[in-house]
A and B are shown apart, each in its own frame.
Chain A
Amino acid sequence: MKHRLLLITVMLIILSALPAQAHRMRVFAYESDGEIISEAKFGSGRPAKGVDIRVEGADGQLLITGVTDDQGISRLPLPAMAKEKGSDLTIIADAGEGHRGSWLLTADDYQGKNRGHVPDSPADGAAAPGLPGKTQTAAENKKQPVLDYADIEEIVQKSVAAELAPVKRMLAAEQQRSITLQDIFGGIGYIIGLAGIAAYFQTKRKGDNR
Chain B
Amino acid sequence: MHISEGVLNAPVLLGCGAAAVVFTAVGLKKLDMDRIMHVSLLTSTFFVASLIHVPLGPASIHLVLNGLLGIVLGWVSFPAIVTALLLQALFFQYGGFTVLGVNTIIMALPAVCAYYIVRPWLTSGGGKRAVAAFLAGFTTILFSSILLALALVTSDRGFFHSASILLAAQLPLMIVEGFITMFAVHFLAKVQPDFLSSEVYR
Contact = CB atoms under 8 A, between A and B. Distances in A.
A184 B43 contact: no
Interface stretch (A15-23, A28-36, A133-141, A155-163): A15-23
Given A4-B41, A97-B152, A191 B33 contact: no
A87 interface: no
Contacts, number: 123
Interface residues of B, number: 47
B47 A15 contact: no
Interface stretch (B67-75, B87-95, B109-117, B128-136): B87-95
B51 A15 contact: yes
Contact of A202 (B33, B47, B48): B33
A41 B60 CA distance: 13
B36 A183 contact: no
Nearest to B47: A187
Given A22-B62, A44-B60, A96-B161, A14 B52 contact: yes
A165 to B, nearest CB: 27
B84 interface: yes
Interface in B50-70: 50-53, 60-62
Nearest 8 interchain pairs by C-beta: A195-B40, A98-B3, A100-B4, A183-B91, A202-B33, A3-B191, A187-B87, A188-B44
Interface of A: 3-4, 6-8, 11, 14-15, 18-25, 42-44, 46, 92, 94, 96-102, 177, 179, 183-184, 186-188, 190-192, 194-195, 198-199, 202
Given A18-B51, A20-B51, A97-B148, 5 more contacts: A7-B187, A22-B92, A187-B44, A192-B44, A194-B83
Interface of B: 1-7, 33, 36-37, 39-41, 43-45, 47-48, 50-53, 60-62, 83-84, 87-88, 90-94, 148, 151-152, 155, 157, 161-162, 165-166, 169, 187, 191-192
